[in-house]
Structure 1
Amino acid sequence: MRWALVLALTAAYPLIVYFSLGHIEPRYLALLLLVLGGLRWLAGGAQQAVQARWVALAALVLAGSTALLNMSLPLKLYPVLVNFALLIVFGLSLVRGPTVAERLARLQEPDLHPRGVVYTRHVTQVWCSFFVLNGSLSLATALWASEKTWALYNGFISYVLVGTLMAGEWLVRRQLRARWERVHP
């Protein structure tokens, strides 16, 4: 339940910040980051505890910076933080194994074929590339774009890109699976 709340608040975060700036001082919006940081801290399960706590700590640092400086920039850096954290989680899974994509695939197919393991490794690499690109664009909008552009990118376009990547991967996977089943009935 806590993770659902964290995900919902994280997804809505850019829009909440955008519609609040100009009406509420950034230092008061820091409370939203405090809530997100606190929820991430509490929601971290046994496996994700270390990563969740680092993200929570970084969110708390951004919230503290916002409160002290009363500036919106630390607030706008939160999506960068989320992309960086996901890059670290996915990237570490490439080094330590099994990859994030493999773990997800094994939920549906516990006896994943070795070809599937190779494929999920490539999928994890693609996601790592995506997080680098998306995080870079989030950073660019935070530093140099208007608040409206920042909110549009981080609160809408980035989610469309995530959905497009997920749908594209699903289509590729279906095609590869069909091809594999034709060759190896």
Structure 2
Amino acid sequence: MVERRQSRASRLTAVLHALMVVTIIIYPLAVWLGLKSWGIGILAPVLVGVFVLRLLTFRGKISQLTALGRTAAIAGVIFASASWLLHETQMLLYYPVAVNGLLLLLFGYSLIFPPPIVERLARLSQPELPPQAVQYTRRVTQVWCAFFIVNGAIALYTCLKGDIALWTLYNGGISYLLMGLLMGIEWIVRKRLQRG
């Protein structure tokens, strides 16, 4: 009986976690649809709830990625709460800028205090990396830093422009396409280097 309850609770937690991750990934689309359908008075408290639940579901050992996730969730709570209290939709638009800034800090910090984040991720699947692979992971981390600077600047521009359709298009579509393109290019380059 106790095991069944624990199993149900575990499944419920997993489902909630998955829903929160999806909501955060589709954040720009959720904001756009929420503002059109409900307005800030309903959307902002819902987003506060999503980010608070996200904070409460972090488990396991503390790592830089966990710290990043928690910080991003705290930023989400702050922006959504400010929007709710001020009845101002503009505050909701700055969340993607904050996430890019946090990712830049994480990746940049790992360049100053090695190993770089990409090397750490690579060592999860291949613990023994040759020296040229270590150098390559450093370069890839630098490229991601440049990406987060440019992406964050464009995200900030879309916030300042105040056009919700442009903001949603870039932050909920184009930005993800560019990220996917960069990942695809990096994968192709890595495979060629591994062969050569």
Bin the TM-score by the shorter chain.
Answer: 0.7 to 0.9
Q: 2:45 aligns with which of 19, 25, 31?
A: 31
Q: Gapped runs of 5+ residues in structure 2?
A: 1-13
Contact 1:94/1:121 (8 A) holds in 2: yes
1:95 is matched with 112
Superposition deviation, residue 107 in structure 1: 1.6
What is the deviation of 1:25? 2.1
Equivalences for 1:99-178 in 2 at 5 Å? Answer: 99-178=116-195
> Secondary structure at the residue paired with 2:36?
coil
The Cα of 1:133 is off from its aligned counterpart by 0.7
Q: Is the 8 A contact 1:101 1:120 kept in 2?
A: yes
Q: Distance in 2 between matches of 1:38 and 1:25?
A: 20
Counterpart in the other structure of 1:9:
23
1:67 aligns with 2:97: no
Distance 1:130 1:16 in 2: 24
Following TM superposition, by how much is the alpha carbon of 1:105 offset from its aligned partner in structure 2, in angstroms? 0.9
Deviation at 1:7, TM superposition (A): 3.1
CA contact (8 A) 1:37 1:56 kept: yes
Q: 2:103 is aligned with what amino acid?
A: L
- 1:14 maps to amino acid: P
Q: Deviations over 1:35-80 (max 9, x none)?
A: 3432442326411454333323222221121011111111111111
Taking structure 1 as reference, are residues 3 and 171 closer, same or farther at Cα in structure 2, changes over 3 Å only?
farther
Identical amino acids, percent of aligned pairs: 43
Change (3 A) 1:107 1:162: same
Once the two structures are superposed, the pairs formed by residues 44-83 of structure 1 within 5 Å of their partners are 45=60, 46-48=62-64, 49-83=66-100
The Cα shift of 1:109 comes to 1.1
Q: Is the 8 A contact 2:90 2:162 kept in 1?
A: no
128 and 64 in structure 1: CA distance in 2 versus 1, 3 angstrom threshold: same
CA offsets, 1:113-156, max 9 Å, x none?
A: 11111100110010011111111111111110511111111111
Question: CA separation of 1:56/1:96 partners in 2, compared to 1, >3 Å: closer, same or farther?
Answer: same
Q: Could you tell me whether the CA contact under 8 Å between 1:27 and 1:71 is conserved in 2?
A: no
For residues 68 and 135 of structure 1, the distance between their equivalents in structure 2, rounded to whole angstroms, comes to: 26
* Number of residue pairs the alignment of both structures matches: 179
Give the superposed CA RMSD: 1.8
Check conservation: 1:44, 1:53, Cα contact below 8 A.
no
Name the TM-score, length of structure 1 as normaliser: 0.88
Counterpart code for 1:47: S
SS of the residue aligned with 1:111? Answer: coil
SS at match of 1:21: helix
